């Protein structure tokens, strides 16, 4: 990104002012709108949930915030360590709930592995996996997922997924986000708290969440903020440096998977500016220098944003009623 470009500065916010605004909003929503006594925050050790935990602690008081850690068999050990760091630096209560046994009972891992075996028949014990998108910037391609598998010996293979394999993997791994949310609402019921959602604007807008999983919450205090604005708030709020420096990850698959690899296929700071450009009618020719991308690439991204929004419609839809 060319930081000297005026467009690159468009996403700068006054973090102190924005913090005050969000904090006042959380207090109003939780205490007066929802009439709940505090907030449960699922803390993953990533930047978004850390910022939400800091905002909730500031808004409601640390004694009214519960940080919930929900690791499972495929989680990076860093997630729990960094999550604890957030809770300790805020002085909020925390609970560890390993959800692996819930996922085993739901046959999450077994179903996922079975779906992978539709395209990689030898996949089994000791293998690791992740799903990835091809490069969508340099040519008109479909956003078709591939599975990357790593043998116990460390060799990797990348195979295009069939429809049945892709849907099988997604349907199985979505148990993870739904089990986490079930646990968050358990503690919300127990304590008469509300559940804070942690999506940023990119995730919320583009449907990078699981319906009734991480998409479920009582309020979403940073869903209006671009990822780079979340980083600005993190710096202002004093989120631990290690979390600010940690590359974003989905923490869903056993092989390390960046969010851009899984979903956006573009570095998040560039995706931010493209989303801003798209929403504010900035022609691709004007945005090109700011994001250091070609005009055709930006036009592809603009089309991709539209396409994702269409797909996200179902994810955002509330239950539909027949009058």
Partner 1 sequence: MQTATIAQQIRSFIQESFLFGQTDNLRDGDSFLESGIIDSTGILQLMAFLQDTYGVRVEDEEAIPDNLDSIDRIVVYLRRKSDSAEGGAGSGRI
Both tokens of residue 234? 């993190």
Question: Dihedral, CA atoms, 196, 198, 202, 207, nearest 10 degrees?
Answer: -70
Residue 263 CB-density burial (10 A; 0-12 exposed, 13-18 middle, 19+ buried): buried
163 lies in the site for partner 1, by CB under 8 A:
yes
Q: Which of 16, 105, 139, 171 binds partner 1 (CB under 8 A)?
A: 139
Query: Count residues contacting partner 1 (CB under 8 A)?
Result: 19
Cβ closer to partner 1: 239 or 304? 304
- Report the distance separating Cα 182 and Cα 54, nearest Å: 22
Q: Which residues of 175-190 are buried (b: 16+ CB within 10 A; e: fewer)?
A: bbbbbbbbbbbebbee
Cβ closer to partner 1: 92 or 312? 312
Neighbours of 268 (CB within 10 A): 20
- Report the distance separating Cα 134 and Cα 125, nearest Å: 27
Q: Report the nearest approach of partner 1 to the CB of residue 304 (Å).
A: 10
| Structural element, H or E, at residue 143 | none
| Structural element, H or E, at residue 90 | helix 77-90
Cβ closer to partner 1: 162 or 192? 162
160 lies in the site for partner 1, by CB under 8 A:
yes
- Report the distance separating Cα 265 and Cα 279, nearest Å: 19
Among 54-62, 68-76, 142-150, 245-253, which window interacts with partner 1 (CB under 8 A)?
142-150
- Report the distance separating Cα 7 and Cα 21, nearest Å: 24
Both tokens of residue 230? 């979340």
- Report the distance separating Cα 199 and Cα 183, nearest Å: 18
Q: Which of 167, 171, 190, 295 binds partner 1 (CB under 8 A)?
A: 167
Cβ closer to partner 1: 143 or 295? 143
Cβ closer to partner 1: 145 or 185? 145
Residues 259-298 touching partner 1, rule: CB under 8 A, are none
| Structural element, H or E, at residue 187 | helix 163-191
Q: Report the nearest approach of partner 1 to the CB of residue 41 (Å).
A: 32
Q: What is the DSSP letter of 129?
A: E
Q: Report the nearest approach of partner 1 to the CB of residue 112 (Å).
A: 17
Q: Report the nearest approach of partner 1 to the CB of residue 310 (Å).
A: 5
Q: Which of 24, 96, 105, 143 binds partner 1 (CB under 8 A)?
A: 143
Q: Report the nearest approach of partner 1 to the CB of residue 137 (Å).
A: 14
Q: How do strand 128-132 and strand 146-150 relate by DSSP bridges?
A: antiparallel
Q: Report the nearest approach of partner 1 to the CB of residue 160 (Å).
A: 6
Q: Output the furthest CA–CA distance in the chain (Å, rounded).
A: 59
Among 20-28, 154-162, 229-237, 286-294, which window interacts with partner 1 (CB under 8 A)?
154-162
Cβ closer to partner 1: 49 or 265? 265
Q: Which of 166, 226, 263, 302 binds partner 1 (CB under 8 A)?
A: 166
Q: Which of 16, 24, 96, 144 binds partner 1 (CB under 8 A)?
A: 144
Binding mask 293-312 for partner 1 (x = CB under 8 A): ----------x---x--xx-
Rg (the chain; Cα; Å): 20
Residues that bind partner 1 (CB under 8 A): 134, 139-145, 160-164, 166-167, 303, 307, 310-311
């Amino acid at each position: 990104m060319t930081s000297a470009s005026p467009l690159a500065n468009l996403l700068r916010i006054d973090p102190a002012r924005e913090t005050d605004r969000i904090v006042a909003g959380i207090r109003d929503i939780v205490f007066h709108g929802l009439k709940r006594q505090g907030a449960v925050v699922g803390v993953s050790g990533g930047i978004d949930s850390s910022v939400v935990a800091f905002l909730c602690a500031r808004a409601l008081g640390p004694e009214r915030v519960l940080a919930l850690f929900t690791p499972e068999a495929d989680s990076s050990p860093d997630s729990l360590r960094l999550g604890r760091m957030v809770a300790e630096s805020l002085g909020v209560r925390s609970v560890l709930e390993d959800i692996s046994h819930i996922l085993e009972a739901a046959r999450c891992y077994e179903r996922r592995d079975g779906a992978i075996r539709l395209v990689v028949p030898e996949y089994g014990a000791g293998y690791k996996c992740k799903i990835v998108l091809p490069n969508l910037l340099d040519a008109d391609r479909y956003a078709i997922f591939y599975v990357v598998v790593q043998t116990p010996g460390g060799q990797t293979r990348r195979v295009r997924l069939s429809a049945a394999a892709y849907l099988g993997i997604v349907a199985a791994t979505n148990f993870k986000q739904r089990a986490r949310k079930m646990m968050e609402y358990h503690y919300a019921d127990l304590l008469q708290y509300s559940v804070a959602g942690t999506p940023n604007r990119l995730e919320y807008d583009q449907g990078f969440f699981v319906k009734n999983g991480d998409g479920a919450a009582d309020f979403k205090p940073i869903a209006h903020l671009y990822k780079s604005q979340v980083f600005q708030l993190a710096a202002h709020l004093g989120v631990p440096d290690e979390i600010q420096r940690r590359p974003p990850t989905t923490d869903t698959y056993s092989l390390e998977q960046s969010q851009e690899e899984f979903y956006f296929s573009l570095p998040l700071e560039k995706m931010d500016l493209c989303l801003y450009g798209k929403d504010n009618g900035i022609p691709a020719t004007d945005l090109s220098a700011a994001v250091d991308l070609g005009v055709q690439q930006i036009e592809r991204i603009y089309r991709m944003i539209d396409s994702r929004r269409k797909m996200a419609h179902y994810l955002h839809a509330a239950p539909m009623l027949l009058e």
